[in-house]
Amino acid sequence: MTAPPIVLTRRRPLSERIIESALFLSAVLGVLTTAGIILVLAAQTFEFFFEVSPIEFLTGTKWSAAIRPYAFGILPLVSGTLLVAGIAMIVAVPLGLLSAILLADYASPRVRTIVKPMLETIAGIPTIVFGFFAINFLAPQILQPLLGKSNIGTFSALSGGIVVGLLVTPLIASISEDAMRAVPRGMREGAYAMGATKFEVVRKVVLPAAVSGIMASIILAMSRAIGETMAVSLAVGDKPQLTFDPTESVQTMTSFIAQIAIGETAQGSIQFKSLFAVGAALFVITLVLNLISGWVVRRFRTVY
């Protein structure tokens, strides 16, 4: 009649512990990836610095990896990258923020059902398509008629920047919209009760309260724009030059890496090693931006 005794063991069964270890190993893969990236970039960059001094690399104003005399001063690639990313931000910040505000505060459910999927569609288009759009439509059919064929070619920082701006707009829009939606309704209603118009509510209540998310979205978009490769490789050309003239053809850090990888560059050559050095610089720049973005979120977050 007595029930069988229930045996309670303190130790967890072996199978449970094996499973936990396996799960932990998967979680550690990310650290291995990071370590791999840093090791590979550091080792090859170190070798590169045997042939080109770090000072020349970081402060040189001439980059010529293909044509003699070779010069490996990264500033032209950095200026090209910043020029394209800067133009992209001029396009993406207003478009992204205004769309986010529209979605968070103005849009009726009907408008939302049109705008949301549209932004997701833009985010889902492979970036190479934007590059194709830049050289086949934007440059020849919009920019050249507008600015004159003698002033702007098929390849320019301007057309590259515009398409990169378009492709990072959804990123700004969706992160900022999330931040604005997280602002409690009560704060908005308080402002309305004081007699504020909708625009005043947005400007004086919603935007200040959501500022950490908005700033983070802009920094992340900047980092995406700096790291974008395919659209930029097609659109901006391959002329490394230290200029801030948007109508010029430039070369970015990413498009240089792509160019070397496409070309028949001998492994172990100085050009090939320079690819890793530029990669290392790119990695550091985007990592710093991402860390700043994370810091901004933590530092300026308002908890309700």
Of 13, 25, 45, the C-alpha closest to 283 is 45
Check if the beta carbon of residue 266 is closer than 8 Å to that of residue 272. yes
Give the nearer residue to other proteins in terms of CB position, either 72 or 276.
Answer: 276
CA 157 – CA 86 distance, rounded (Å): 10
193 binds other proteins (CB under 8 A): no
Residues 91-150 binding other proteins (CB under 8 A) are 94-95, 98-99, 101-102, 106, 115, 118-119, 121-122, 124-133, 135-137
Contact pick of 197, 244, 269, 302 for other proteins (by CB under 8 A): 197
Q: Residue with structure tokens 């190993």?
A: 25
Two structure tokens written together for 292: 């700043």
Check if the beta carbon of residue 95 is closer than 8 Å to that of residue 174. no
Residues 147-186 binding other proteins (CB under 8 A) are 166, 169
CA angle 278, 284, 290 (to 5 degrees): 135
Strand partners, 72: 63
Contact pick of 1, 262, 266, 303 for other proteins (by CB under 8 A): 262
Cα atoms in the Cβ-side hemisphere of radius 13 Å centred on 1:
0
Q: Residue with structure tokens 């020849």?
A: 140
CB of 93 to other proteins, least distance (A): 11
Omega within 30 of 0 (cis) for the link into 69:
yes
CB of 69 to other proteins, least distance (A): 26
Give the nearer residue to other proteins in terms of CB position, either 58 or 128.
Answer: 128
Contact pick of 159, 212, 249, 254 for other proteins (by CB under 8 A): 254
CB of 269 to other proteins, least distance (A): 15
Give the nearer residue to other proteins in terms of CB position, either 62 or 115.
Answer: 115
Q: Can you tell me whether residue 182 is helix, strand or coil? A: coil
284 binds other proteins (CB under 8 A): no
Contact pick of 55, 59, 64, 198 for other proteins (by CB under 8 A): 198
- Binders of other proteins: how many residues, by CB under 8 A? 81
CB of 303 to other proteins, least distance (A): 18
Check if the beta carbon of residue 81 is closer than 8 Å to that of residue 244. no
CB of 82 to other proteins, least distance (A): 15
First-to-last C-alpha distance (Å) of the chain:
58
276 binds other proteins (CB under 8 A): yes
Q: Around Cβ 1, how many Cβ atoms within 10 Å?
A: 2
CB of 258 to other proteins, least distance (A): 5
Residues 22-61 binding other proteins (CB under 8 A) are 22-31, 33-34, 36-37, 40-41, 44
Residues 224-243 binding other proteins (CB under 8 A) are 226-230, 233-234
Give the nearer residue to other proteins in terms of CB position, either 119 or 143.
Answer: 119
Residues 6 or more apart whose CB falls under 8 angstroms from that of 231 comprise 127, 128, 130, 131, 134, 160, 163, 164, 167
Give the nearer residue to other proteins in terms of CB position, either 29 or 67.
Answer: 29
